[in-house]
């Protein structure tokens, strides 16, 4: 008789806006039951979390204080190449999207267009992988 062990996934949200972090955390926790969600408002806090509790999935804004999200993408992928990374940002320029995907992001969503089912689909795809 096989026993399926359900493991909690670690999710990190990196965004300077506490309101956005709380909102995204609520959406994630409403749609996924076995998750631990940590929050970081800047790249330094995110790196501290990466060092102590590596996440399975990272939701990252590109507009961070003192540093862009591009450098943080490299830090995330250096911890573990299989960490799923979703860029969720207010920047919608094609060159920003191309740079993020080239650095290793799995998804790039504009905050303006990341609503409803599209966002939930990405949450399911990244967390349940």
pLDDT tens per residue across span 56-86: 999 999 999 989 899 999 999 998 889 999 9
pLDDT at 34 over 50: yes
Coil, helix or strand at residue 114 = coil
Per-domain boundaries in the chain: 9-127
| Helix and strand element counts for the chain (H, E) | 5, 7
CATH architecture under which domain 9-127 falls = 3-Layer(aba) Sandwich (3.40)
Here the tokens at position 69 are: 């999200």
Question: Tokens 């102590």 identify what position?
Answer: 52
Coil, helix or strand at residue 59 = strand
Q: Is the dihedral of CA 104, 106, 89, 29 positive or negative?
A: negative
The pTM of this model reads 0.91
Please state, in angstroms and as integers, the Cα–Cα distance from residue 117 to each residue in 26, 105, 109, 125, following that order: 15, 20, 13, 12
Percentage, residues of the chain above pLDDT 70? 95
What does the pLDDT look like over 98-117, one tens digit per residue?
Answer: 999 999 999 999 888 777 78
> What is the rounded CA–CA span in Å between residue 32 and residue 99?
29
What does the pLDDT look like over 41-55, one tens digit per residue?
Answer: 999 999 999 999 889
């Amino acid at each position: 008789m096989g026993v399926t062990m359900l493991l909690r996934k670690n999710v990190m949200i990196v965004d300077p806006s506490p309101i956005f972090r709380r909102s995204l955390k609520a959406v994630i926790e409403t749609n996924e039951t076995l998750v631990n969600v940590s929050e970081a408002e800047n790249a330094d806090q995110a790196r501290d979390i990466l060092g102590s509790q590596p996440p399975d999935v990272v939701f990252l804004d590109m507009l961070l204080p003192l540093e862009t999200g591009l450098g943080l993408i490299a830090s995330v992928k250096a911890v573990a190449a299989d960490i799923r990374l979703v860029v969720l940002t207010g920047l919608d320029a094609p060159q920003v999207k191309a740079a993020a995907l080239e650095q290793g992001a799995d998804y790039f969503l504009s905050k303006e267009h990341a609503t409803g089912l599209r966002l939930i689909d990405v949450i399911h795809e990244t967390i349940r992988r």
